[in-house]
Amino acid sequence: MRLSENLDLSEMIKSDTAIRHGIKNYPTDGHLGNMIMWAENIFQPIRDYFGEPIFISSGYRSRELNNLISGSLQSQHCVGQAGDIDQDHKMTMVSNADVFDFILNYLDYDQLILEYPDEYDNPSWVHVSYVSEEKNRNQPLVAVKEDKITKYYEYNV
């Protein structure tokens, strides 16, 4: 099933962890609707702008899968409103920093997280969520490890 022109549902529900543990990682109809909105308002504009493949490292997570990986109890991944994009080590010229900058400057989003940036501000991956035009907070954050604990700070442009 296609969520948008260039994103298939299989890319958003794929999880090696779920497969290893025999977890069914399939969204409800409501979650599927959220995933379509995310795909149309976040993924597809990125894909169209760069004209190159965009890679999802984590999309939808069932509660069981999210609990297994110790994900946030409020994770928007569990309701189909979030995805993690990771361009590193892929056959493309688009970096994670390029994706982050594009979303920050051109898209409406709920949360956008620069995840564990290196010394050049290239994140390990980009987390981005989308709720709806009316409810998006357009909240950019940066995630860093401090004393082995992840902390989130407002991203200053």
The CATH number of 2-154 is 3.30.1380.10
pLDDT of residue 89: 78
pLDDT of residue 79: 98
Q: What is the pLDDT of residues 49-88, one digit of tens each?
A: 999 999 999 999 999 999 999 999 999 999 999 999 999 8
User: For the chain, which residues make up each domain, given as ranges?
Assistant: 2-154
Report the predicted TM-score, pTM, of the whole model to 2 decimal places. 0.94
pLDDT of residue 90: 78
Instruction: Say if CB 8 and CB 40 are below 8 A apart.
Output: no
pLDDT of residue 111: 98
d(CA 157, CA 155): 6
The ranges of the chain with pLDDT < 50 are none
Question: Exposed, middle or buried by CB within 10 Å (0-12, 13-18, 19+), for 13?
Answer: buried
